[in-house]
Every structure is written in structure tokens, then in C-alpha cells.
Amino acid sequence: MLKATIDADMFREAIEAISALIPECRLHTDESGFSTRAVDTANVAMISLTLRKEAFDTYKATKSQLGIDLMKMKNIFGMADKGDLISIEMADNAQKMSVSVHGYHYSITLLDTNTIRKDPNPPTINLPGKIVIKGEDLNNAMKAAAVISDKIALGINPKDQTFYLVAEGDTDHIRREFTKDELVSLTPAEARSLFSLDYLKDMGKVMSKAEQVEIFLGIDHPVRFSFDIAGGNGHVEYLLAPRIEAD
Amino acid sequence: MLKATIDADMFREAIEAISALIPECRLHTDESGFSTRAVDTANVAMISLTLRKEAFDTYKATKSQLGIDLMKMKNIFGMADKGDLISIEMADNAQKMSVSVHGYHYSITLLDTNTIRKDPNPPTINLPGKIVIKGEDLNNAMKAAAVISDKIALGINPKDQTFYLVAEGDTDHIRREFTKDELVSLTPAEARSLFSLDYLKDMGKVMSKAEQVEIFLGIDHPVRFSFDIAGGNGHVEYLLAPRIEAD
Amino acid sequence: MLKATIDADMFREAIEAISALIPECRLHTDESGFSTRAVDTANVAMISLTLRKEAFDTYKATKSQLGIDLMKMKNIFGMADKGDLISIEMADNAQKMSVSVHGYHYSITLLDTNTIRKDPNPPTINLPGKIVIKGEDLNNAMKAAAVISDKIALGINPKDQTFYLVAEGDTDHIRREFTKDELVSLTPAEARSLFSLDYLKDMGKVMSKAEQVEIFLGIDHPVRFSFDIAGGNGHVEYLLAPRIEAD
């Protein structure tokens, strides 16, 4: 059973954070809120998202799993205006979800959760370097690098106490160094790994709205991005596998 | 003979109402103003438009027929700024129309009216249900339905005194009910017919600018939309044939 | 050697004036500033551009030639915000240019100047008619004409003291006359030549930002457009060959 109302913008924020990586997901509901964990088809990126019941205006749910077509959700909620309230309702074991917004009543058929990949186990990785940065600064760096190349190295220079991003194109090169002053905080540790900008551009767009993003880095290890959504009542973690440095 | 000046926005409004259905039209001029009546190539939709001489700043015309390429007109008048005056001039039996706007002088070759379909006869249909609604509300409902399906049922529930729109997609469903409070007025009568959203989306865009749209409905009958343009000095009627309910 | 800083908008303005005609150019630097002269691949249009050292915040350069990929420059500087300062630095005989803007450091490989066409000689042409017009008016006329045709005649009517533009499409015709009152100035002389709108549309977009554009015209001769950029500390001349009037 599920019966909840939520601000259209907050729900859209959560949907967009997930749909940056995957077109459909298995959404877990229980009395504490919504959550999902999924890897993309190429097994390169993972998202963990929670949307706590405090993000909702009203919330009541029993333990369940919903198969969500994220593209369809984006199209439907693209119609909602800022400030609109979305009401979601579902009976036990129902195949359909009732959604009401701004006088419109939708009956949306859910995906069969058996057709959606099993939830991945969260890997235990030790990433010693940590940066806290404004989401907008991070996204701008991704956009600038994407003009030059399709991959980017993220690293920490412990001596200079800087966080750097370097992208090498066929003929050109871009480097951005953030000093401690430009960051919210920096936990220095030798760190440098190479990543695909295809993924980082999509993640960057989502993270650009976050006041602060925590970045965890190691040497030739995955990167973890961690940030709040829904006014602090939701949380997202992106994990992205490194690429091999080819030189 | 034709010699007239009109506000660019008013003329554009009339052109766009016609071009939502057809790419070219036969425009009738006489001393009382402009008028056209045409059906689309698929014989599914009909438009009747009048633009009274009161919509013009100056107007003088004898009885004549002009073959108008509406796409060309849209491209040309897309250049005009809000508040620009358009001057139109044509000699008797001329093949070319002189148009002046904002210092630009156009000579536009008319289409041969013999190549344009004959004016259709206005059908006499009895449509007992009537709704008066804000154009913007109507257009928003069309846009929301188009996310789910390519057809929509419009109906009246006489008991509840509501106007409803229902669209069924392959897996999903949307319903919007307008209570009497949300409408300008409602004349209750049992009514429900199914229509193609391809047409309604284009009509909806035009009608979104109308303060009020009258909708006339029956049971498995065409729908008629009736609304003013050009500040009340012009009028449009759209008639749209129903689709067969396939179930 | 080159070491200079310049407002991002000023540099972008210069890059866009050149890239309207050609994708890459040979940029000359010396102690007085930047300059380039180039013809497009079809040998129909020529640009001469100077950006004087006064356009820069700081400027120091020895005589040199740089092979510039203009599209790449546009992509990179598209990221810069209004008011950002761009720093450019190059060692003697270097193949790479260092560019810094808003914390981003680029290393950009230059093109081999041997692969770029030799600088054309400026032709000596006598064009007796001269018009000075607002850049925006000129651009609007190009856009209006492009709806009707792909070529346009520019001319002066010495008797009426007007500057006119005429475009003939397959069926339609547009004419715009600028009286002396609508122009900054007019030096009357019999003049009329036909030009390709493909080129004029691109040039028009650049010239639309110029307060004043000088136009020099003859009879079936090229047209020369002359205007300032970079707040008067730079200058552009476009020369465009006429088309043959086919009738």
C-alpha cells in the first residue's frame, strides 16, 4: 500500500537523478520512504538514492517494490508546474499506480519488477581523498572538459592542497585546479583516476543543482559523488568506475 | 480590388488559425471583410474563419477570391514586430498582392484558386452538449493527454455537471474532469466522442490564446470549437470528425 | 613571443567576425596587435580584421604567425562569461598556445601555417557609392530577403537619394528602400550589384552588433562592408564578389 503527496519539483529532482543513469528502476517503498539502487547497462555507474518520508507532504507506505519507467515519469511530470502537489496512490499488489496532479488523474501501469536487474550490492571501496565542492563549479568543469576530450582525470595534489581536473584531447589539453579557498573543504591524499565524460556530463547536470557535492577519490579507483536532494530530505550517491589510462 | 491595413499580430493570428489545418486556402474578400472555409486533405477537420472589416485599421474591398500560400505568409509575417502595421493592396483580377510592412515591400504571387479545393458546405449537425472553457485550460489538457495517447475522448457527465477528457494509452490512462466551477458555463447533455490528438494539439495551440472557447459535443459525433480572434473582430470555428472507439 | 590578456567578449567578437567566412585562419601578431586577411574557400568573400593592442588589457608580442582553428576557439570561449579575462601566452616558435580563463588552463595546438592558404592581396577597386547604416537595420533586411530568395541586389538611387535592397524569388519579390533619414549618411552614385544571401546572412549576423556599418557599392562590382569591433579598438572589412544577374 502506498499513499503519498509530494511537491512536483522534489519528485522531479529524484526522478532526474536516477534517469541520468538508467531508463527504468526498481523503487523500494517502506514506512521510512523511497529508495533505489541500480547500475547502468554497461556496469560502469551505480546510483543509490533515498527520498525520506520527510520529503513528502503526507506519506504512508508498506514494504513494496515498484517497477518504474523513468522516461514516462519525466514526460508526465514535465507537465506539472512549480508548486504543484503530486498525489500517488497504490493498492497492495496492484499493477497500476494512481497519480494526480493539478486536476489530472493518471493510471500508470508499472513495469514487472522481475524484468528489472537485481539490486547491486554496494561495493566496499576505500577512497582516501575527499573534496567538498559547489555542484555548479563541478558541472562547469565537466562542460569545459567535454569541449576538449571524452575523458577526464580527477585528482588531488596533497602538497599544494588542490583538487584538479585534467582532460587531454587529440591535440589540446585543459586543466582546472581548485585551491582550498575555492572548495568547501579538502581532505588531502594522493589520488588520481581517469573517467568517462559521457557519464560525468549527465551526472554533472544533476549535481549542478546541489549546494555541496562530496567527492571521494583514490588512485585508479572509482569516484563517489554524494549529495542531498529534496531540500535535505533525500540523498544521492553516484559511483563511477575508472577508465584505463592509455599511454 | 483590395486595399487594407491591419495590425501585424491580428493578421498573424488569423493566418495561424487557418494554417493549423491546411497549407493553402481560398480567401474570400468582400466589403464586409475576409472569410475562408476549408477542409483538411484527410477530410477530418474543417475551419470557418471570418475577419471582419472592423479588425482592420483601413479596409476597402470588392468581392474576390485569393489563393493564399499560408506557409509563405507565416514566414513573411514572422518578421513583423508587434505593433507593426501591414498594408495589403491588390488590383482587380491581379495575380499578385502587394504587402508592405515596416518599410519592406513585398510582391507576392497568389495561387491559382482553381487548384484549391472547392469550399465545403457547412454540415448541419445537432450537438446538444455545450461547454465554455478558457482556451489555455483546453490546450493544457490536450498537451497532457498527448503524453499518454494519440486519441482522446471528450464528454459531458450530465449528472455530475462535469466536462471530462479521457485518454487511454497502451498501458496508461489519463483523466481530467472540469467541474462547473472550473468552466465558464456548461449546458449538460449526454455526450461522449473520441478524437485524434494530432488535430487537437494543433487546434489547441491556436485556441490557447482565446479567452473563451465554446465546445459543442454529441454522442459519437463531431466536436465544434468556436472562438473569437482579432480582439472580437474575427471568429473561428473548427469542426473535427470523431474517431471510431476500437473496443 | 606573445603574452596578452583581453576581455572574453572582445575576443569572441573578433573570432566570430572571422569564422563567419572561414573555419581556420593565419593570425599575424606584432607589437601593434593582431591582424588577419583571408578569402573563403570559394574565393567569393574576403575578410580583413585588425585587433589593436589597445583592445587588450595587457599586450606584448613579437612578429609571428599563428594557425588558428576558429571552430575550436568558438567552442572554448563559448564557455567564458561576460567580463571574464582571457590570458594568452606563447613562447617563440611554439606549436602550442596557453590560454587561461576563469581558472581553466588550456594548451591548444596551433595549425601548421603552411597548410593555410596564403594571405590574399587586397584588391584595388573603385566603389563610388557609399552608405552608412545601423548594423541592425542591415541585418534585418538580409533576414527578410532570405525568406523570399537566395540572392539580393543592393543599389543606390542617386535621384531619390535612397539605398535599396531588392530580392526576387521564383514567385515573390521584396524591396526595402532606406531614405536618407533612415541612414547615417549616403554618398549618392549610380550603383547596383547582385549578391549571394548565403554570405550576406552570415556577415549580417556579425554586423548586427555594429553601431554603424559603411557600405561601398558600384555597378556589378563587389560590395565592401567596413565596421568597428572591440569598442573601436578593432576593425573589420568584408569584401564580397557580385553574382551575375541571370535575366
**B163 touching A (Cβ < 8 Å):** no
| Domain C2-114 coded CATH 3.70.10.10 | yes
**B104 touching C (Cβ < 8 Å):** yes
pLDDT band at B247 (very low <50, low <70, confident <90, very high): low
Interface test with B, best of C142, C173, C201 (most B CBs within 10 A): C173
Q: What b/e sequence results for B63-97 when a residue is b if at least 16 CB atoms lie within 10 Å of its CB, and e otherwise? A: ebebbbbbebbbebbebbeeebebebbbeeeeebb
**A98 touching B (Cβ < 8 Å):** no
Across chain C, what does the average pLDDT equal? Answer: 95
Write the DSSP symbol of residue B74: H
**C182 touching B (Cβ < 8 Å):** yes
Q: Is residue B2 scored above 80 in pLDDT?
A: yes
**B106 touching C (Cβ < 8 Å):** yes
pLDDT band at C77 (very low <50, low <70, confident <90, very high): confident
**Contacts C105 to A, Cβ<8 Å:** 174-177
In the prediction, which pLDDT does A246 show? 63
In the prediction, which pLDDT does A247 show? 54
**C106 touching A (Cβ < 8 Å):** yes
C175 with B108: Cβ contact below 8 A: no
- Taking only the tens of pLDDT, chain A with its 247 residues reads 999 999 999 999 999 999 999 999 999 999 999 999 999 999 999 999 999 999 999 999 999 999 999 999 998 887 788 889 999 999 988 899 999 998 999 999 999 999 999 999 989 999 999 999 999 999 999 999 999 999 999 999 999 999 999 999 999 999 999 999 999 999 999 999 999 999 999 999 999 999 999 999 999 999 999 999 999 999 999 999 999 876 5
- How close are the terminal C-alpha atoms of chain A, in Å? 55
Please give the residue of chain A at the shortest CA–CA distance from C79. A144
Q: Is residue B47 scored above 70 in pLDDT?
A: yes
Helix H or strand E encompassing C237 = strand C234-240
Q: How far is C167 from chain B (nearest CA, A)?
A: 9
pLDDT in tens, B190-225: 999 999 999 999 999 999 999 999 999 999 999 999
In the prediction, which pLDDT does B111 show? 95
In the prediction, which pLDDT does C177 show? 96
pLDDT in tens, C194-210: 999 999 999 999 999 99
**Contacts A174 to C, Cβ<8 Å:** 104-107
Distance of alpha carbon A73 from alpha carbon A11, whole angstroms: 10
Where are the extended beta strands (E) located within chain B?
2-7, 24-30, 33-39, 45-52, 58-61, 64-69, 85-90, 96-101, 104-109, 129-133, 151-157, 162-168, 173-178, 185-187, 191-196, 213-217, 223-229, 234-240
pLDDT in tens, B74-85: 988 877 888 899
**Contacts A79 to B, Cβ<8 Å:** 140, 143-144, 147
Distance of alpha carbon A138 from alpha carbon A207, whole angstroms: 8
Q: Is residue B246 scored above 80 in pLDDT?
A: no
C172 with B105: Cβ contact below 8 A: no
Alpha helices in chain B (DSSP H): 8-19, 70-77, 135-148, 197-207
B173 with A79: Cβ contact below 8 A: no
**Contacts C171 to B, Cβ<8 Å:** 108-109
**B144 touching A (Cβ < 8 Å):** yes
Q: Give me the total of CB pairs closer than 8 Å, taking one residue from chain A and one from chain C.
A: 36
Would you say A8 and A83 are in contact if contact means Cβ atoms under 8 Å apart? yes
**Contacts A141 to C, Cβ<8 Å:** 104
**Contacts C172 to B, Cβ<8 Å:** 72, 106-109
The minimal CB distance from A173 to the residues C72, C79, C107 is found for: C107
A147 with C107: Cβ contact below 8 A: no
Order of strands across the sheet that contains B173-178: A58-61, A2-7, A85-90, A96-101, A104-109, B173-178, B162-168, B151-157, B191-196
Chains with 3+ CB–CB pairs under 8 A to C are A, B
Q: Is residue B117 scored above 80 in pLDDT?
A: yes
Q: Which three cell numbers stand for residue A127?
A: 577512497
Residues A2-115, CATH architecture = Box (3.70)
- How close are the terminal C-alpha atoms of chain C, in Å? 55
Mean pLDDT value across residues B95-115: 94
C103 with A182: Cβ contact below 8 A: yes
Interface test with B, best of C133, C170, C171 (most B CBs within 10 A): C171
Q: How far is A56 from chain C (nearest CA, A)?
A: 38
Interface test with B, best of C175, C180, C181, C182 (most B CBs within 10 A): C175
Residue C244 Cα to chain centre, angstroms: 23
**C81 touching A (Cβ < 8 Å):** no
Q: Is residue B226 scored above 80 in pLDDT?
A: yes
DSSP string, C200-216: HHHHHHHHTT-S-EEEE
Would you say A172 and A117 are in contact if contact means Cβ atoms under 8 Å apart? no
pLDDT in tens, A117-167: 999 998 999 999 999 999 999 999 999 999 999 999 999 999 999 999 999
B104 with C143: Cβ contact below 8 A: no
Percent of chain C at pLDDT > 70 equals 99
A79 with B178: Cβ contact below 8 A: no
C174 with B72: Cβ contact below 8 A: no
Please give the residue of chain C at the shortest CA–CA distance from A139. C79
Equal fold, A2-115 vs A129-240: yes
Q: How far is B99 from chain C (nearest CA, A)?
A: 9
**Contacts C100 to A, Cβ<8 Å:** none
pLDDT in tens, A97-110: 999 998 999 999 99
Residue A194 to residues A43, B196, C10, C76, Cα–Cα distance (Å): 16, 51, 35, 22
**Which CATH number does the domain C129-240 belong to among 3.70.10.10, 3.40.50.720, 3.30.70.240, 3.30.70.260?**
3.70.10.10
The ranges assigned to domains in chain A are 2-115, 129-240
C107 with A144: Cβ contact below 8 A: no
Residue with cell 472553457: B133
The minimal CB distance from A147 to the residues C75, C103, C107 is found for: C75
Chains with 3+ CB–CB pairs under 8 A to B are A, C
Please give the residue of chain B at the shortest CA–CA distance from A80. B144
C106 with A148: Cβ contact below 8 A: yes
Mean pLDDT value across residues C221-239: 97
C105 with A148: Cβ contact below 8 A: no
Mean pLDDT value across residues C68-87: 89
**B115 touching C (Cβ < 8 Å):** no
State which of B60-64, C71-75, C241-245 shows the largest mean pLDDT.
B60-64
**Contacts A143 to C, Cβ<8 Å:** 79
C105 with A140: Cβ contact below 8 A: no
